């Protein structure tokens, strides 16, 4: 397989060019891509070379590859926040901000909802409204 013309993580294995979005897996009609967790729990695509026909669809769909000029030239803005509380950010994939916001909502009488994937296309929702769920 000549992978030199392919640019996405599926072929390059350069983690800085992959957000783990899974678009390549969804786009591959030949089921040649699986999303597998790395040792930190982040999903990355893994190629089954026996199924791949090198059609290049994964490269075309990948948001981290190619000439995405329409995105690159538009000014973007975002908010970034974290917490100084080590016990929050060490236990959190959101570097602590989700715990802080959730705590604030619950302490003001609100509910916090979460979701997890039970299996493919099956989503489970749960909520909390009491403080003891947090490690304070």
Quick one: which of 34, 42, 46, 57 contacts ligand SF4 (CB under 6 A)? 57
Task: Mark the segment that binds ligand SF4 (CB under 6 A) among 54-62, 66-74, 89-97, 109-117.
Answer: 54-62
CB of residue 116 vs ligand SF4: minimum separation in angstroms?
A: 19
The three-state DSSP-derived secondary structure of 40-105 is CCCEEEEECCCCCCCCCHHHHHCCCCCCCHHHHCCCCCCCCCCCCCHHHHCCCCCCCHHHHHHHHH
CB of residue 112 vs ligand SF4: minimum separation in angstroms?
A: 28
Task: Mark the segment that binds ligand SF4 (CB under 6 A) among 2-10, 73-81, 82-90, 100-108.
Answer: 2-10
If 0-12 CB within 10 Å is exposed, 13-18 middle and 19+ buried, where does residue 24 land?
Answer: buried
Query: Rounded to whole angstroms, how far apart are CA atoms 97 and 83?
Result: 6
Residue 8 engages ligand SF4 in binding (rule: CB under 6 A): yes
Task: Give residues in contact with ligand SF4 (CB under 6 A).
Answer: 8-10, 18-24, 27-28, 30, 32-33, 45, 47, 52-58, 61-64
């Amino acid at each position: 397989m000549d992978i030199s013309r392919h640019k996405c993580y599926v072929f390059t294995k350069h983690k800085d060019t992959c957000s783990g979005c899974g678009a390549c897996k969804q786009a591959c009609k030949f089921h040649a891509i699986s999303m597998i967790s790395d040792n930190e729990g982040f999903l990355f695509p893994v190629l089954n070379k026996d199924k791949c026909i090198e059609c290049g669809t994964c490269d075309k769909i990948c948001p981290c590859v190619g000439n995405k000029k329409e995105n690159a030239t538009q000014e973007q803005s975002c908010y970034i926040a974290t917490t100084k509380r080590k016990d929050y950010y060490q236990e959190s994939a959101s570097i602590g901000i989700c715990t802080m916001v959730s705590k604030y909502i619950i302490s003001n009488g609100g509910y916090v909802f979460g979701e997890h994937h039970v299996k493919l296309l099956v989503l489970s929702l749960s909520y909390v409204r009491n403080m003891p769920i947090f490690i304070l």
